[in-house]
Amino acid sequence: MYAIVENGGKQYKVEKDNVLEIEYNKAEIGSAVDLKCIMCADGDKILTGKKADKVSVKAEVVAHGKADKIVVFKYKAKKNIRKKQGHRQPFTRVKVTEISVG
């Protein structure tokens, strides 16, 4: 059984015991969070739309962190304009503990 969940404008395919990094969530480490399910597949049975709203995907917060640094460099030719900026996106690492229907 697997599910497609949505968080922070992104979609993730999850199964039980998967560990994934989602958008930063203020939940405490060790607490449980619910992820919004948009599709669930169990063998030949596929639930989407309003039927997928009945699917419950629970996950446990494992850690918080920051992704690798990316460099944003803006440059305009012949104008001597240069702007260098770095960014590290915060994330929350969660472990899927349960996918249940109904």
What is the pLDDT tens value at each position of the chain, 102 positions in all?
999 999 999 999 999 999 999 999 999 999 999 999 999 998 899 999 999 999 999 999 999 999 999 999 999 999 999 999 999 999 999 999 999 987
The boundaries of the domain holding residue 37 are 2-101
Number of domains in the chain: 1
pTM: 0.83
- HEC sequence for 42-93: ECCEEEEHHHHHHEEEEEEEEEEEECCCEEEEEEECCCCEEEEEEECCEEEE
The amino acid at residue 82 is R
Note the pLDDT of residue 12.
97
Note the pLDDT of residue 35.
95
Note the pLDDT of residue 102.
79
Note the pLDDT of residue 43.
87
Task: Give exposure, 50-64, as e/b (b: 16+ Cβ within 10 Å).
Answer: eebeebebebbbeee
Note the pLDDT of residue 36.
95
